[in-house]
């Protein structure tokens, strides 16, 4: 049996084993493959949770090792097929920026006097998993560096459970400001007018927050010229937006998992998960949630009818658990960039925001795009009717999806034309 047949067999076995069949939306191409990926993720998470309950290991670090092992296996098996292997001119260095580990991708020399683009990339993973050095991120970093003549800096910020909010944000801010310093830009021959910040999922959250931070910091002379956000998570006050409800049981990132990521990141008790899913933390009784603040994430006015459909807002009357006092980070714009005021958004760089129909975070991105536009910022909204959360990471055989390939190519084309 050939390698391809073996891998397909394993994926099918994972899809069929242990879990009850979970039908995928009709628009998803090769649904069996997404089922397999989701089943593998859930199996790994459940095994990690079992080890945790047995006192063997923390569930996060255990699942990280599983992910790293899978990533290493795929690289070893498929290295000769990987696009990363066909860009030998890219120089890769693992160093630190302001004490924060980063991987720097430098394109082939472009000749004396040729300035290059710069891009700071922040990986996803629920502020708990992932690394810019892992397969999919490494591949994209090399591709962008080579094809777009760009110095790419991928930041390995600290993660839960080792640290909590705001430490990941502070790591990214430190690395960003170091990267934007005239000395570093000069060292890497980067055009100070062509520097971007980008990230996906939790990394998109950090990228949006860093774009706001840098735009408002007068001590940073060089600003990001663009921000490119890939299915970003941008708020934690409403877990009943149309996309959260529609995709509450969707593969890769169901609603309960996203809420758990938030609770972990903000240092809160996981037992509060049902309260947040019911939106009890944003109850009407809270005087701090003024009408103006609520309007910043009011999907009934920020989304078009295409996305609102027939869904209704879920607003609790009372917060009997005092959740906003227990979890103050819920209202911090560094964790929830969608809560920033219009005066902050007006200073932000032009934006590219990628969203997917089958993603609980779809409406976060759409609402942010609308608010940035209302603040006078130029925004390109790139929406995929057949897209799902994480699709940009699935572009290489055997875990390749056509929507992922299209999304990656369109993302790179936008950077080429706007950076």
Query: Known catalytic residue: 201?
Result: yes
In DSSP terms, 39 is beta-bridged to none
CB–CB of 351/227 below 8 Å?
A: yes
Query: CA 367, CA 299: separation in Å to the nearest integer?
Result: 7
Beta-strand relationship, 350-358 and 226-230: parallel
**Which distant-in-sequence residues (6+ apart) come within 8 Å of 393 by Cβ?**
136, 137, 200, 404
Q: At what angle do helices 135-147 and 402-418 cross, to 10 degrees?
A: 40
- State the Cα angle at 75 between 70 and 80, rounded to 5°: 150
Residue of 123, 178, 286, 389 with catalytic role: 389
Q: At what angle do helices 167-179 and 202-216 cross, to 10 degrees?
A: 60
- Count CB neighbours of 169 within 10 A: 21
Residue of 62, 198, 201, 243 with catalytic role: 201
Residue of 359, 363, 364, 382 with catalytic role: 359
In DSSP terms, 117 is beta-bridged to 150
CB–CB of 153/104 below 8 Å?
A: yes
Query: Known catalytic residue: 389?
Result: yes
Active site residues: 201, 359, 389
């Amino acid at each position: 049996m050939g390698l391809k047949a073996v891998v397909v067999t394993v994926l099918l076995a994972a899809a069929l084993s242990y879990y009850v069949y979970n039908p995928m939306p009709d628009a998803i191409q090769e649904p069996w493959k997404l089922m397999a990926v989701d089943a593998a993720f859930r199996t790994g998470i459940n095994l990690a949770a079992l080890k945790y309950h047995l006192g063997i290991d923390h569930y996060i670090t255990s699942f990280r090792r599983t992910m790293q092992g899978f990533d290493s296996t795929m690289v070893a098996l498929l290295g000769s097929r990987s696009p990363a292997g066909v860009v030998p001119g890219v120089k890769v260095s693992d160093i630190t920026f302001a004490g924060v580990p980063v991987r720097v991708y430098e394109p082939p020399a472009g000749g004396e006097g040729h300035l290059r683009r710069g891009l700071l990339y922040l990986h996803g993973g629920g502020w708990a998993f992932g690394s810019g050095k892992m397969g999919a991120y490494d591949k994209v970093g090399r591709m962008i560096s080579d094809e777009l003549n760009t110095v790419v800096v991928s930041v390995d910020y600290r993660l839960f459970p080792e640290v909590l909010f705001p430490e990941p944000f502070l790591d990214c801010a430190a690395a960003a400001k170091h990267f934007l310093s005239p000395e570093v830009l000069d060292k890497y021959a980067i055009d100070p007018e062509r520097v971007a910040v980008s990230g996906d999922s939790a990394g998109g959250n950090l990228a949006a927050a860093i774009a706001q931070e840098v735009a408002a910091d007068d001590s940073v002379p060089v600003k990001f010229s663009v921000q490119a956000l890939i299915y970003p998570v941008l708020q934690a006050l409403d877990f009943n937006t149309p996309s959260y409800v529609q995709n509450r049981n969707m593969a890769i990132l169901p609603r309960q998992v996203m809420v758990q990521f938030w609770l972990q990141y903000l240092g809160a008790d996981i037992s509060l998960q049902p309260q947040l899913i019911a939106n009890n933390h944003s109850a009407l009784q809270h005087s701090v949630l003024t009408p103006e603040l609520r309007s910043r994430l009011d999907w009934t006015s920020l989304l078009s009818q295409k996305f609102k459909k027939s869904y209704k807002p879920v607003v609790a009357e009372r917060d009997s658990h005092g959740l906003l006092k227990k979890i103050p980070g819920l209202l911090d714009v560094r964790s929830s960039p969608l809560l920033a005021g219009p005066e902050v958004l007006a200073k932000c760089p032009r934006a590219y925001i990628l969203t997917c129909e089958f993603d609980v975070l779809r409406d976060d991105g759409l609402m942010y795009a609308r608010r940035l536009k209302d603040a006078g910022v130029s925004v390109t909204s790139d929406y995929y009717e057949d897209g799902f959360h994480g699709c940009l990471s699935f572009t290489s055989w055997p875990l390749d999806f056509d929507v992922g390939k299209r999304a990656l190519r369109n993302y790179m084309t936008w950077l080429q034309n706007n950076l």
